[in-house]
A and B are shown apart, each in its own frame.
Chain A
Amino acid sequence: MLAPNSDLMLVYAAFAVLALFIASGLAAALHRRKNVAFLIGLPLLAIDTALFLSVFTGGSSTTLLGIFEMYPFSALFAALFMASGTLIYLISYRYSNDFTGFSALFGFMLLGVIGVAASTSLVTTVVGIELVALSTVFMIILDGKSRVEPAVKLFILGAIAISVLLFAVAMMFSYDPSLLLSGFTASGPAPGSYILTLAIILFIAGFSFEASLFPFNLWVPDVYQGAPTNITAMLAGMNKKVAFVAIMTTFFVLLSRYSATFSPIFELLAILTMFFGNIMAFVQKDVKRLFAYSSISQAGYILIGIAVADSFGIEASIVQIAAHMFMVIGAFSVVLWLESKGLRSIDDYSGLGYRSKFAGISLSIFMLSMAGVPPLLGFTGKLLLFSSAVDKGMLILAGLGILNSFMSIYYYGKVIGSMYSKKGVSVGSGKLFANGYIIAAVAVCLAVVVLFGLYPGPIIHAASAASLSLFGM
């Protein structure tokens, strides 16, 4: 057991390492040293993951500079985001057209992510979200001229989202000028006030852009398909999850008194999002688009736990967020590599299982996990989500969720079936071999998905600690 003092030191160390990463990224960008940036940056990110993880296991609560609060919830998400950041960084090195620029922006993006997770006031949350969105836009543009269209799409939608959010923040200002997350519960109006209901709706709309919830998610497939695939992995694995963290801190700390108002809205959104994602995924021919729609449906599942609006529901959402993070980053890593070999559509994937065992097996496992097939981590998350809904008496939500979850196996099954069909083998140009970066990233994701799927105890325990600390704020 660590003394409180050493916990504080750990938090400082974690932020210092992040600052070091940002500095090294900037320096590398100025000097155009790609290899140096990677060799320094990757260990820094890995170390920071470990530091935030030990902050989490320390279990204490520390305030930093008055704007960050490290408590188990934020520390767990900081560690998760650092881990997924490490993986993104790893796969981007080989495939990013301007890796040094990417490194510099990635540091700011991580700062924004940690800012949202550890936010104590609405201002920090909004600034964090904006930091993440803007860095992402520039990362996409940096890849080349052909990327302007998705970047502009993302930029405009991000701008709309942020203005909607700011409007909501302005409404909150009239009740509590400090804008602190934890101070509002006492000073706010009684549930049912019109201004507050409007603010809740605006918050939901603003966050829905980022979290890709129906009907604010029409941009998702275009941007996911248009962006470089390593950025797509980041969009699905990190940016979207950041919005969920912001939803959790905003609604369960700031607005926790009004759960009767927002819970039905989230329930409806969850149902619509799941159906939208799954139904659209049925007809996709392009693998990146298929995963884009599948990740929309996953956002719907995550929302089930938020609609349930108690600590069990949030615990389930956290497990599902962690699960989807690793599944989708792993899947997009394989897609990224295959794309560089010219394989894009489901038809191109025909016979892939015979050309590369690595791609066949790892993609199959990721897709089965996304579909919620036991004993993989995706199943654990869904089991918890549906259980939490049944526990709260939301039987329709649970039933539709389960229906969707099994509908999704159909289109994943189609891809898997195509990978193992013998039709394309003779046409295909022979064996494919992955490089070390992709193999390393995929191996980590596979290990998380399979090992925690077989033994989910620790991850559920961690999620439950984080969720309880969120409600204790």
Chain B
Amino acid sequence: MIPEFSIIFAALTLGIVLAALLEKRFSYYIGVAATAIVLIMVLLIVAYEYILGANVMAQTYAYIPQFGVHVSFIATPISAVLLAMTAIVLFAAALSSGREETSKGAAVLMLLFGLAAIGLFSSSNLILFFIFWDVGVVATFFMISYMGSANRRSAALKFLVYSLGASAALLLGIILIYFGTPVHSFNIAYIISHGSLIPIGIQESIFVLLFVAFMIKMPIFPLHSWMADAYTESSTQGSMLISGVLSKFGAYGMLLLFLMMPIAAKYSTYILALAAISAFYAVLVAINQSDIKRLISYISMLDMSIILVGIASITVIGREGSIYGMLAHGLGIALLFLVAGSIEGMFGSRSIKFIRGVVEGSASTAYSFMLGIFSITGVPLTVGFIADLLIFIGAFSAFGLYGLIPLGAILLAGGLLYLVVSRSIVNGRNGTEAPYLPTAAQKAGYSVLLLFIFAFGMLPFILLKIIGS
């Protein structure tokens, strides 16, 4: 038996230390090597769970024994999927960053962020969950303020302020859960099985606190205004990780919240309404954007709202759909941001007005952008299709026809994005040469993400068997 989790954490920690100590020219290779090891180990975990149908666990160490808090990691069916998504996005980000462009700080922060994400998705108790959550926030704050573009300081501060609100609500909620359970416990599995024993009044406060915390992170209207700045002002790799992985902190937490607190069922209709409003809001704002990264940011927000629809349906199939949706969103949005980074490099601008005829400059970039849009809007054979299908089956069985309203937002987004493709990607080159073409590293990044987008889209039974077990 291979100790997968120990190898993952050892690789990331070692990577951080080495990247910090060695010279800049090694940073890129350290990042790629560490994330490659993580990807291999995570795929091993997925394979193991597929074959044996059992959870992979890591050894337990005492952390705060007085509270029964242990350092222990577990790959439940939900976390196995998220671990796979994290590892793929992390590897793609490391691979695409390029030897010249990767600074020491960038490599350290990327690996630190990876450590936080892997730890969060596999933590077996809420204290570990909170610790990795905050490490992720700190890593992201530095990632934006250290590596971002012109307005990065204000974007980073805005992100920090929203995250602090989320963290505060989360911490209070976790403490309330601990004292609310009959046998005081932070253990997630225990809380899921005994959540109904928490008194109704406390459940309501916990639900409100944690819902707000996770809503900020996902983000859902009206607590989303940090998102566009943070996604837009980060470096390409930063945007990939923040939009692809950090938003899943919130979505994963939301999923756990609905599993832990039975009272959530009482509010599901309202949450559906909120998700629908959030989805339409995101699309309508996206129509108005002239900056390609901002446009993708709002498309990302739309997708997160659709994931919330699946979670709010409280049906097994809707939940499975939302888990699959997190995978689809992570891979698809990371690809779009990577492509947007290349396009920005080609044209020296993020403004859609100046982007014309990408396909003539770099065909691989143009087609990757289109395939990414296919996945995000749920075209069959891509991973996004499976997600949307399951989510809306779940929503229909829970809410009837009302559950299908958010589909309208996806249709609108599809129309908008195909318009962008036809105007900026395939047509309208007026003879100017692009000064810069995507590097081999960036193309390698595209291919890693595309490979998994189609692999999980064509072979959905692999992950669905794990999720269903």
A-B contact count (CB 8 A): 74
Interface contact A406-B167, CB-CB below 8 Å: yes
B277 within 8 A of partner (CB):
no
Query: C-beta contact mask, B240-260 vs A, less than 8 Å → 1, else 0?
Result: 000000000000000000000
Interface contact B145-A417, CB-CB below 8 Å: yes
- On whether A417 and B153 interact (CB within 8 A), knowing A386-B175, A403-B168, A407-B164, the answer reads yes
The docked-state distance in angstroms from the alpha carbon of A421 to that of B156 is 12
Chain A, range 365-386, C-beta contacts under 8 Å to B: 368, 373-375, 379-380, 383, 386
Residue tally, chain A, CB below 8 Å to B: 31
Interface contact A417-B157, CB-CB below 8 Å: yes
The 8 Å CB contact of B146, one of A380, A402, A403, A420, is A420
Query: C-beta contact mask, A407-433 vs B, less than 8 Å → 1, else 0?
Result: 101100110010011000000000000
A462 to chain B, nearest CB (A): 11
Interface contact B164-A409, CB-CB below 8 Å: yes
The docked-state distance in angstroms from the alpha carbon of A364 to that of B309 is 40
B160 to chain A, nearest CB (A): 5
The 8 Å CB contact of B160, one of A380, A409, A455, is A409
- On whether A456 and B171 interact (CB within 8 A), knowing A374-B130, A413-B160, A420-B146, the answer reads no
Interface contact A379-B175, CB-CB below 8 Å: no
| Smallest Cβ-Cβ distance to B145: which chain A residue | A417
By a CB distance below 8 angstroms, the chain A residues around B316 are none
Query: C-beta contact mask, B154-193 vs A, less than 8 Å → 1, else 0?
Result: 0011001100110110011001101100000000000000
| Smallest Cβ-Cβ distance to B62: which chain A residue | A457
B62, B172, B175: most-surrounded residue (chain A CB, <10 A): B175
Chain A, range 57-86, C-beta contacts under 8 Å to B: none
Interface contact B66-A460, CB-CB below 8 Å: yes
| Smallest Cβ-Cβ distance to B167: which chain A residue | A406
- On whether A410 and B164 interact (CB within 8 A), knowing A373-B134, A390-B175, the answer reads yes
B418 within 8 A of partner (CB):
no
B227 to chain A, nearest CB (A): 18
The 8 Å CB contact of B172, one of A379, A398, A455, A456, is A398
| Smallest Cβ-Cβ distance to A414: which chain B residue | B157
B142 within 8 A of partner (CB):
yes
The docked-state distance in angstroms from the alpha carbon of A12 to that of B317 is 71
The docked-state distance in angstroms from the alpha carbon of A433 to that of B103 is 23
Interface contact B64-A387, CB-CB below 8 Å: no
The docked-state distance in angstroms from the alpha carbon of A47 to that of B172 is 42
B223 to chain A, nearest CB (A): 15
By a CB distance below 8 angstroms, the chain B residues around A374 are 130-131, 134-135
The 8 Å CB contact of A368, one of B66, B131, B138, B145, is B138
- On whether A420 and B145 interact (CB within 8 A), knowing A398-B172, A402-B168, A406-B168, the answer reads yes
| Smallest Cβ-Cβ distance to A312: which chain B residue | B66
By a CB distance below 8 angstroms, the chain A residues around B141 are 413
The docked-state distance in angstroms from the alpha carbon of A398 to that of B174 is 12
A374-B134, A407-B164, A457-B62 given; name 17 further pairs at CB < 8 Å.
A373-B138, A383-B171, A383-B175, A390-B175, A390-B178, A402-B172, A405-B168, A406-B165, A406-B167, A410-B157, A410-B160, A413-B160, A414-B157, A455-B63, A457-B63, A457-B66, A464-B66
Q: List 5 A-B contacts (CB under 8 A).
A: A373-B138, A387-B67, A387-B175, A409-B164, A410-B157
